[in-house]
Structure 1
Amino acid sequence: MPFLAVERACEDPLLARKIGAKAPSGGDRPDTFHAALRPAFRVRRAFGLAQRPRDASAAIWTNARDRVRYERPQGHTISLYLRGGEGTRRLGRQMASGRPGAVCVLPQGHSSEWEISDTFEFVHLYLPDAEARRYFAEAFERDARLMVLPEATFSDQPRLALAMERLAGAVRSGESLAAEEAMGEALGLCLSAGVGARPCLKGGLAPHLRRRVIDHVEAGLEDALRLDDLADAAGLSAFHFQRMFRESFGVSPHSYVRRRRVERALHLLAGAGAIAEIAFACGFTSQSQLTRVFKAETGLTPACYRAAAKA
């Protein structure tokens, strides 16, 4: 998983787009990183779970004497003030200001405007909506459409603040495993608000079918899983299963199985098994296929990941 320390320029196309450096054409989609286009905003450290827009990432920012507006941003943002913040206020809301330890949560599509009169530093956790819903469905075994991320401005949430402090420490040190753990803890705390909700949903897989499909995937990760096999486990046609699976999990069956294979590989790489053996144990046809998929998902090859985990 790559670690990136950035000031104002970056060779990486994705991060370059986020910090305002020139990047290849193709169009920027609005997200909370667009604030870095302003001269006062600077990236101190940035950390990505993978170099793809659909994955979670974290960054430590600093800013001073500025006004920033987020217009219906894509993705969700969780922020913690690490230093300063007393000179920051959200326009159109209560007169409260930021402070060290204050938490802000900005769900996707929520516009906001901020006035900054003094220097501060904070850590941001950026979560694409699809990734957040996938995590919610897997972690809480609930339909992805039930996910709720409550908005918060300068709130006191000690457990979430502690998780974000751990994330900031991992971003600064470039420790990928620690960053993953902190991201998962912070996301779990934020998304637990939707666990108790039980509205009547149309479409999607029933809870017992979701559990049956998950069990089928886990039992067959080392084998070649076919869409028809997963559909049979749910008692549905392949066409209807694919649509209902995406509604319930927030991702396609292929993406879900691919991620589970990589997550199993992550676990096995902590041991001493040969990488080729791990590839077959996770359902890949060869070590080269594992390497290609693993790097696409995490940003590192299996060998580099193992070396980093043992460092």
Structure 2
Amino acid sequence: MSHIATSRPSTPDTIYDVLRRSPVARALAGMELGEGCAVTVWENTRDRVCYRAPAHTTFSLYLEGGTGTRRLDAGGVAGYPGAICVMPEGCGSDWEINAPFRFVHLYLSEARLRSGFARTHDCDARSLDLPEATFIRNPDLAAPLARLAAAGADGDVLHAETALAELFGALRRKPGSTHTTRAGTTQAGPLRAGLAPHILRRVDDWIDAHLDQTITLDDLAALADLSGYHFHRMFRLSRGIAPHAWVTWKRVARARILLRTDQPIAGIAAACGFSSQSHLTRVFHRHTGWTPAGYRVAVGGGRAVGAPTSESPS
């Protein structure tokens, strides 16, 4: 397989980096999906790996095999094809592999995880409750993870983006649910501070209407009747990222849509509030791992939305 990503989460203690240093584990395919997000298909056998407080949250799906893989710090429980593991940022684990198996990993930084959840569910980023899980069955997570593995093997960016959106959609928090911490099980309580949902919707609507213009912190703070400093703090609590990062994500999201048309890239840059085509290129590449021109080719930009391609979707 091809399309192995050349860049990965930059911190040295990600799960990806631990596997990369293994003399046995082998990356078969992968794809960079922008800041703090990447997918890799692995193969491993006869190995012992220990993750100590790793950076980034990792979702894992066993694609083939796995019965020879045991988690030693969880009583030696063994895996199986279709098993899912969720390893939140900072949660260590110890594994022994005694037989060949193939699996996919999705790596998400804390900011990418929580902001993606907040965008998908139009909710406070802190409402995400993601407990650690070892060898569970969850079809809602398994399906998008399998699609991410296929997208990484094929280099299909649109397929990967769709699968990632589906995975965020599968992450739900039930009102009043309990969650487990290292100190024990606690009841989910009310969220404190942050911005009210109607304020967040007002801010989002205003950003969408002014995306082709310069947007300042004072503009956004005025919508909430707060100082810039206080708005910045409260927004970050609610959305998981700073206001400027949220606006930039919206600019990139609109550029993604427009790049599927035949509109000139310079015009897209202006429509999305970038100062120039080169500015769009720098920011777009940082967020997606693609240049605008490369992304347009990858998603078949210039065709009408929904136009058939020479290949059927997988």
Asked if 1:238 is matched to 2:228, the reply is yes
Tell me the SS of whatever aligns to 1:62: strand
1:124 aligns with 2:105: yes
- Does 1:46 pair with 2:30? yes
- Give, in angstroms, the shift of residue 307 of structure 1: 1.4
Cα distance in structure 2, aligned partners of 1:147 and 1:175? 28
Report 1:1-311 matches (<5 A): 4-5=3-4, 12=6, 14-15=7-8, 28-33=11-16, 34-50=18-34, 54-189=35-170, 191-193=171-173, 199-310=189-300
Separation (CA, whole Å) in 2 of partners of 1:167 and 1:287: 30
Distance 1:233 1:46, change over 3 A: same
Q: CA-to-partner distance for each residue in 1:167-186, whole Å, 9 max, x for gaps?
A: 11111111111111112212
CA RMSD in angstroms, aligned pairs only: 2.0
User: What CA distance in whole angstroms lies between the structure 2 residues aligned with 1:187 and 1:96?
Assistant: 27
Indicate how the Cα distance of structure 1 residues 188 and 271 shifts in structure 2: closer, same or farther if over 3 A, else same: same
Displacement after TM superposition at 1:188 (Å): 2.6
| Counterpart contact for 1:35–1:69, Cα < 8 Å | no
- SS for the counterpart of 1:123 is strand
**1:140–1:195 CA contact under 8 A, matched in 2:** no
Unaligned runs of 5+ in 1: 7-11, 19-26
Secondary structure, counterpart of 2:13 in structure 1: coil
In structure 1, how many angstroms separate the alpha carbons of the residues matched to 2:142 and 2:273?
38
Equivalent residue, structure 2, for 1:22: none
Aligned length: 289
Per the alignment, in what secondary structure is the counterpart of residue 73 of structure 2?
coil
Q: Tell me how far apart the structure 2 counterparts of residues 286 and 95 of structure 1 sit (CA, whole Å).
A: 56
Output one character per residue of 1:199-239: Cα deviation in whole Å (capped at 9) or x when no partner.
32222112221111111111111111111110001110111
- In structure 1, distance between residues paired with 2:296 and 2:174: 35
SS at match of 1:184: helix
In 2: Cα distance, 1:256 partner to 1:28 partner: 23
CA shift, 1:89, in A, is 1.1
Cα distance change, pair 299–133 in 1 and its aligned pair in 2 (3 A): same
Q: CA–CA distance in 2 between the matches of 1:39 and 1:290?
A: 40
Moved more, 54-63 or 271-280: 271-280
Distance 1:195 1:182 in 2: 25
Shift of 1:96: 3.6
Counterpart amino acid of 2:130?
L
Partners in 1 of 2:48 and 2:283 — Cα distance? 41
CA distance in 1, matches of 2:30, 2:22: 17
The structural deviation recorded for 1:193 is: 2.7
1:23 aligns to what? Answer: none
How far does the alpha carbon of each residue in 1:142-161 deviate from its partner, in whole angstroms, 9 at most, with x for none? 21122211222111112321
TM superposition score normalised by structure 2: 0.86
Q: 1:251 to 1:261 in 2, by over 3 A?
A: same
Q: Is the alpha carbon distance of 1:123 and 1:195 closer, same or farther for their aligned partners in structure 2, counting shifts above 3 Å?
A: farther
Q: Secondary structure at the match of 1:192?
A: coil
Aligned residue identity for 1:61:
W
Query: Could you tell me how far 1:296 is from its partner in structure 2?
Result: 2.1
Task: Verify the 8 A CA contact 2:120 2:165 in the aligned structure 1.
Answer: no
Map Cα deviations across residues 104-127 of structure 1 (whole Å, 9 max, x no partner).
Answer: 111111111111111111000001
Greater shift in the superposed pair: 123-132 or 157-166: 157-166
Using the size of structure 1 for normalisation, the TM-score is: 0.87
In the alignment, residue 274 of structure 2 is paired with which amino acid? F
Percent of aligned positions that are identical: 46
One-letter amino acid matched to 1:215 = D
Give structure 2 stretches of 5+ with no counterpart.
Answer: 178-187, 301-308, 310-314
- Give the 3 Å change call, closer, same or farther, for CA 227–181 of structure 1 in structure 2: same
